[in-house]
Amino acid sequence: MPDLDFPLPARQKPKPKMPFVLIASYITDWLCIAAAGAIGTILGNVTPNKRPFLLEDPNISFPFTEHETVDTMTLLLCVAALPIVVILFVTLVFVPGPTVPAGTPKALIWKRKLWELHIGWLGLAFSLCSAWFITSGMKNLFGKPRPDMLSRCKPDIDNMRDYIVGGFSFASDGRLVSAAICQSTDKSILDDGFRSYPSGHSSSAAAGLIYLSFFLASKFAVVIPFMAPGSYTTDSSAMSSFPSRMPNAGNRKVYEPVHSVSSQAVDDISAPDDPAVSKQIAEHSTAVFAVRKQAAAPPLYLLLLTALPFFGSIFIASSRWFDFRHHGFDILFGFMIGLICAWFAFRYYHLPISQGAGWAWAPRSSDKAFWAGVGSYSYATDKKHWIRRSAEEGAQAGQAPAVAHLATVRDIPTNAADTFPQ
């Protein structure tokens, strides 16, 4: 075997504390999210554009609802406070779960709990603030009248009939008028009458509550049953009624990973030497050989529990329709903004629901806390583990180039996430 011209990564002892630079990088994440939320709040108080309108338009002639079904304070409790409490409860009670080996230090378990809690809250804040920032900016740019805009406007029209709750009994021959026709003395109510598109309640409801649904589905393993890509087989017996009773069902060859002596990385597979291990793997292989045993549907009560936040977001969005605060398209588009923000925020900080076993991504590497640079493989691996001498450099130095397959992803150091949490 030719000599290697680069040092293989060696296992390091876990560091007792998270480096300050890494803590600072996540504080920066929180500051960026807070800045987005603050800017969204400022944009929400800016005078919006006021699109000209038709006084005879029935779509803006609905009455003004004094008491909303879901007011702003109730919305904040539902989309922010409730998810915060639920994430706290689920993390403290159900994380890290039953797979913790016996004898694991309690300090390590609490580190994992706190990390999962931190990431759960960070993703929630990211989802809510990004949706709020996008929605607030769009509202003032478009300046679309709300369904109750004429009730807010109080246009200057003589001889208005009594008891009219929508529309006006006059003819304007189809000409548009500007917002200057409005006689309302409450500037805030009038300005808010031109913030119909998109719906802020809908986007916030989706951003907070659908994110919570994603979080619960991840922690409780609520996923549509599927076959892993590596489980597909051309053996027709896997589709039979009882594959374990087919001929040679118990004589399948089994294999185990073989680790590199130097790097502890998996380099190949081979039949195990220990008969007990061989028997155990064979029994497992026979059990999962049948296609129908690759997965199973989660309990329906868990599916219902996971879907409850989603149903809540639907109710909040629909309330904007029967409260005459938004048009249908405004509600749908706002909900889509929140849905996209919720999905992106969850996937940004969490593993896929169907593949991640309910975990959040581990912390960044301390030397990539703020910057990774071009050519970096991952923010989770130290830079020193991926510095390799190229074949050209080796040739110039008169040394043999490194073996190609050792520079592949199988050389990922096993201590890449040892910093915190384990």
Question: Are both 42 and 101 inside the same structural domain?
Answer: yes
Cβ atoms of 327 and 59 within 8 Å: the answer is yes
Instruction: Work out the widest C-alpha separation in the chain, in whole angstroms.
Output: 99
Which residue would you say has higher pLDDT here, 63 or 241? Answer: 63
Main-chain dihedrals φ then ψ at residue 267, nearest 5 degrees: -105, -25
Helix (H) or strand (E) holding 300: helix 300-322
Q: Is 102 inside a domain boundary?
A: yes
Q: What is the pLDDT of residues 44-54, one digit of tens each?
A: 889 999 888 88
**Whole-number pLDDT of residue 155:** 85
Question: Are both 218 and 238 inside the same structural domain?
Answer: no
Q: Is 330 inside a domain boundary?
A: yes
Alpha carbon distance 422, 419 (integer Å):
7
Question: Are both 64 and 83 inside the same structural domain?
Answer: yes
**Whole-number pLDDT of residue 83:** 97
- Segment 202-228 shows an average pLDDT of 91
- CB neighbourhood size of 403 (10 A): 12
Judged by average pLDDT, the poorest of 20-24, 43-47, 130-134, 272-276 is 272-276
Judged by average pLDDT, the poorest of 87-91, 149-153, 306-310 is 149-153
Q: Is 103 inside a domain boundary?
A: yes
Can you give the three-state secondary structure of 111-130, one letter per residue?
HHHHHHHHHHHHHHHHHHHH
- Segment 190-217 shows an average pLDDT of 95
Question: Are both 91 and 65 inside the same structural domain?
Answer: yes
Question: Are both 334 and 196 inside the same structural domain?
Answer: yes
Q: Is 249 inside a domain boundary?
A: yes
Judged by average pLDDT, the poorest of 7-16, 159-168, 257-266 is 159-168
> Given pLDDT bands bounded at 50, 70 and 90, which one contains residue 315?
very high
Judged by average pLDDT, the poorest of 2-11, 17-26, 383-392 is 2-11
pLDDT of residue 258 exceeding 60, the answer is no
Which among 293, 317, 333 is the end of a domain? 293
Question: Are both 179 and 278 inside the same structural domain?
Answer: no
**Whole-number pLDDT of residue 125:** 97
Question: Are both 281 and 336 inside the same structural domain?
Answer: no
Amino acid at 90: V
Question: Are both 106 and 244 inside the same structural domain?
Answer: no
Question: Are both 308 and 251 inside the same structural domain?
Answer: no
pLDDT of residue 264 exceeding 50, the answer is no
Q: Is 402 inside a domain boundary?
A: no
pLDDT of residue 106 exceeding 50, the answer is yes
Question: Are both 193 and 124 inside the same structural domain?
Answer: yes
Structure letter (DSSP) for residue 243: G
- Give the rounded percent of residues in the chain with a pLDDT score beyond 90: 42
Question: Are both 51 and 151 inside the same structural domain?
Answer: yes
Cβ atoms of 389 and 402 within 8 Å: the answer is yes
Cβ atoms of 338 and 131 within 8 Å: the answer is yes
> Given pLDDT bands bounded at 50, 70 and 90, which one contains residue 172?
low
**Whole-number pLDDT of residue 224:** 85
Q: Is 37 inside a domain boundary?
A: yes
**Whole-number pLDDT of residue 415:** 41
> Number of structural domains, the chain?
2
Residue 32 structural domain:
20-224+298-349
Instruction: Please provide the DSSP assignment of 310-351 as one string.
Output: HHHHHHHHHHHHHTTSS-HHHHHHHHHHHHHHHHHHHHHHB-
Question: Are both 122 and 239 inside the same structural domain?
Answer: no
pLDDT of residue 403 exceeding 50, the answer is no
Which residue would you say has higher pLDDT here, 107 or 16? Answer: 107
pLDDT of residue 240 exceeding 90, the answer is no
**Whole-number pLDDT of residue 27:** 93
- Segment 55-75 shows an average pLDDT of 91
**Whole-number pLDDT of residue 247:** 61
- Segment 251-261 shows an average pLDDT of 49
Cβ atoms of 360 and 116 within 8 Å: the answer is yes
Cβ atoms of 330 and 196 within 8 Å: the answer is yes
**Whole-number pLDDT of residue 245:** 60
Q: Is 420 inside a domain boundary?
A: no
Q: Is 111 inside a domain boundary?
A: yes
Judged by average pLDDT, the poorest of 30-34, 76-80, 98-102 is 98-102
pLDDT of residue 219 exceeding 90, the answer is yes
In degrees, to the nearest 5, what angle opens at C-alpha 396 toward C-alphas 393 and 402?
50
Alpha-carbon Rg for the chain, nearest whole angstrom, is: 30
Instruction: Please provide the DSSP assignment of 9-54 as one string.
Output: P---PPPSS--HHHHHHHHHHHHHHHHHHHHHHHHHTSPPP---B-
Cβ atoms of 130 and 349 within 8 Å: the answer is no
> Given pLDDT bands bounded at 50, 70 and 90, which one contains residue 319?
very high
What integer best gives the mean pLDDT of the chain?
A: 77
